[in-house]
Structure formats: C-alpha cells, structure tokens
Structure 1
Amino acid sequence: MRAIAVDHSTTAHLSLVETADPIPAPGEALVRVEAVSLNYGEVKGAADPKTPDGTVIGWDAAGVVVEAAADGSGPAEGTRVVTLGEAGWAELRAVPAALLGAVPEDADLGAVSTVPVAGLSALHVLRRLGPLLGSRVMVTGASGGVGRYAVQLAARAGAEVVAISRNPAQADDLRSLGAHEIHTDPAAVARPVHAVLDNVGGRQLVDAFATLQAHGTLVSVGRSSEADAVFPPEILQGDGGRHDRAIRTFFLFGNPATDFSTDLAWLSAEVAAGRLDPGIRWRGSWTHYDEAVQALIGRRLHGKAVLEIG
C-alpha cells in the first residue's frame, strides 16, 4: 500500500512511499482510508529527529471497513467509519473496535475525519468540567481544531463561552459558533470565569488561570505556544476570595481502556447533520501533503486541514 511516512531528507520530513499492508489483530477491523485530518502535534512529531525514517504517522482517519474484526467486535464489512489511532496516513489501517465509530451513510468522510483528536478532546474535557449550564467557560486557541469544537459544544451545553484567539479576524466566525465574548488575550477578560480549556500554554495559560473564580478549574489540553508557563506568586495567593483554584492536565489516551466508539459515532453524526462545524480551511489530495503541512506548521491555518486519499 501507499502511505505518508517520515523522511528527514525532505522539507516536510515526510514522503509518499510504498509500505507493507497492516495485518489486523483478531480484535481489529481493516479500514480502507479515504480521508485524514492533520493535527499539529503529529506533524511536529514527524519533524523530531528522534522519530525514525519510515514511521507512518496520522491519528485521524475516515474510510470504509473492508475486513471486519475476526473476533466479531466492531462494525461489519462495508460500514463507513471514523477512526483514531496511529499510522492513519495510509491507504489501509487496522483499528480496534474501541477506536472507531460508524458514521452516517451520507456523511462527508473528509469532514468527519476531523473528529477523533479534536472532537474527542473537546468533548471529554468539557465533561470533566461538570454541568456547564449558566457557567462562564473560557476556551483559548479557540480558532484551532480542539478550540472550535469546544466553543460549539460548550455553547450547546448552556455555557457563556469566552473565546480567545490571537487573530481578531476570527471574531465573527467564533461568534457564529456560539461564543459570547471574543478576545485576543485572556488578560483582557474583565469578569471571572468558572472554567478554562487551554490549548495554548505559556503566558496565555497563566493569564487564563488568573481569570478563574474561586473553586474554578483550568484544564491544560495543548501547548501550541511551546512556551513556559511562569506564575507570579501573587496569582497563586488566592486573595480576593478567589481561592482553591485548580490546574488539571489532559491526555486523550490517558486511560487505554477507554471505549471511544459511541462518542466518535455521535460527534460524526453531528458533523454530518451540520450541527457541528469542523472549520476545514484546507482540503486537497494527499499528494499535496507538503502544502498542508507547511500551512499548519506556519500557523496559517485557523481550523483543520484534510487530505483526501485516492
């Protein structure tokens, strides 16, 4: 089969190559991949000198089951699915039942390929924050993949969403997704918030934490700034009644036993029905992967990029 694999001799650290077909374990379905979406972390990881040449990357992929799992788990042959895992940027992918979800027959597989990392991360973090009806929830990096889903899901849960995006041109788009306030920096937020979903890290994490009211929680999801978060002592003193505030970390694969199949199916159905907007900003053939990768690494994408395989 063909796949996009790490190649440190190229500008993008990737090449389209021929490699062996995956051999599914008894509990895995073999999926013919039709579309994948890009995540900053996987692309950044491909450029890491520690990642061996020939490694096939890719966390998000959507396609069709061509061979059902031998143990009877998961969907039948011919089912359209969205999948999560590793080595997704390939024509074939072996996936356990817990990491794939059936999607509607009329779904745009390119659109639903954006769901796994971004959609699941947003959904699971918001669940950790508890009931959101009437709460003020801040989302940093709101115009990114996780951020867009988080804004929409929090708004649908009844939260008053405070969206943070460094690009002021994203304000109208974020407002259309359900954001009540849009700022370029958490330091500009006047009223305290109940919770924060932080995708940026660094100074934005510090300033976002400073906006938390008493007993509020910040969940660190991503660190796109790649900067250190340095807390001045006064932020941690809890004076003015704003005490007992917490910072929590999040890792999608933190519990390997988690079954994501139901959530993947639900999120995909919401995207297919137009009730969730994945914000695809680049879409094209996987032979143009270099263009998409450079746009993502260069911070020129405010949303998702999708590669179509075929």
Structure 2
Amino acid sequence: MYDPTRLAALVAVSEAGSITRAAQRLGYTVPALSQQLAKLERETGTALLVRHHRGARLTGAGEVLVETARRVLDEMARARHELARLAGLSGGRLRLGTFTTAGMHLLPPALTAFRRAHPDVELTVAGYEPPLGVAAVAAGTIDVALTHTYAPSDPVAVPSSVVQEPVLVEELVLVTAPGQALTAGTAGATRLPPAELAGQPLISMAPTHPPRQGVEAALARAGATPSVRVETPSYALVCALVSAGLGVAVVPEMVARMSATPLGVRLLDPGDLRRTVSVVHRADDTNPAVDSFRALLRGAFGRSSN
C-alpha cells in the first residue's frame, strides 16, 4: 500500500501544475516534497512526473495513480469524518471565523455538509479579516478560522499554540472592464507579463490592507501606477470599479470567477503572484467538531483549486 502522504503530494502537484506551488499548498519545503515524490516513484518503480521549465506534468503512469489516489484520499477523509461522528458529535458547538471571500464562496458548501452530518452541533460564524482570525483562534474566541496569506509578502508570525494548514493556493489574475484591450479577444488567451501593466490605471488595495502590500509592491516595480486606492479589503468593490472602467486590478482567481459584475480576465506570467487560503485551529484542541469540519474543508477546498 502506498503512503497516503505521498499520494496526497502527487495529487497536489497534478492540481497545482508545479512542485513549488504544491509545496506551498501543503506547507512543505520544495526539497521535502521532492523527496516524498521520489520515494513514491521508487515504490511504484516508474516515473510519475516530467519536470519542465513551467513546472511539472504527470506521465501516463502518474495519471493512472492520481485517479486512484484521489479515491483513496476521499475515502480516508470520509472515514475521518465518520469517526468524528462516532466520537460523540451529538451536541456541542463549533465557532467559525472567516474572511469575506471564503465566507461567501467556499464556506457555505462545507457548512451544508457539516450540518447534514451533525444537525445537533451549534454553529456560529463571525467575520475576521486576516490575520485577525489567527489571533482569535489563539485567544480561544473561536475554534477554527479561515485565513489567507499572499505571495510575495512579509511572513506573518503564527503563535506556537496554533496550527495553520494550507488548503487552497490560487493565482492572482488581471481583471479589466469587459472588452478592454488587455483581456479581449486572442490577447486574453495568453499570459500577460506584469511589465505590460506599466502606465495602466491600477485600482489598489494598499496601503491599508497589509496582506496585499507585497503584491502591490511587486506591481509597482513592474510599473503599474495606482489610480484609485480602496481603503477597505472589499474585492466586490474593487471588481465593481474595474467593471465600470475606472482601472484594472489584480485579484485572486476565485474572486474574478465569482464576481457579481462583468469582467475581462487574464492570467499573468509567470503566475508567481498567489493567495494561499488556510484553516487555523489550536494545536491542543480536542473538539471533535473541529476535526470533522477540517476534514470537510480539505475535501471541498482541494477540489476548488482546479
């Protein structure tokens, strides 16, 4: 039987398209993840990945194994979920913290599944813009939180009492008004070097949104000039302003895909501007509701990254 940790590593690479991005998603260093993949290739006796300048892709054998790996990992998640149910989730409570994007687009399906499995658990949901959710978990105000970090950015210290598990890594993409030249027609089918944003009016979320400051600095180095500064971390507002033609913006792919206002969208080259969504909980927490909810998140978020 193959090691589930190594199977999860292979699935992560297949979904992320590169070992580097998969390592970030799983919370590994690149050498550590590469070592897991090498061990899996030795176990199977065949090459599972082909490395190339843009990342990595599966071989034929890798594609076969990934399909089986997904089924195995899903079964294990269901088993963890069922064990949590048998552990006594007939009552109690689960206090959740979330930031706006996850609360609107990712949390509802997971909560629906949780409620279906555990109808007697009392649920509360509160809003915490990152990194405030981490502090709330550490203080015991909430049991679990969804938070995010951006790359590039300065690292955010996490208290030793808290465990932060990456569950979704997504690229940041360019959004424009519909029909704008940068995203219209065949131009939108190729990746855009950030240097092409030089001189474009940029709708910016800096300087009052610390998680975005590293991204904004990278865009500034590429020549993008802030035109409108949004003082609150509201992607809905940013997308509305972009849709109205007031400028362009760089937002998480999920935000662009689920925007309520029409947008033009284009991937950036080389795709190294990213947002990582993580679930945070206390290391010593024995609440079975937390374990069950984390298992549901891993399944739901892992599929949302495709």
Q: Could you state the TM-score of these two structures normalised by the residue count of structure 1? A: 0.29
Relative to its length, the structure with more strand (as a share) is: 1
Q: Normalising to structure 2: TM-score of the pair?
A: 0.29
Higher normalized contact order (CA 8 Å, seq sep 6+, divided by chain length):
2
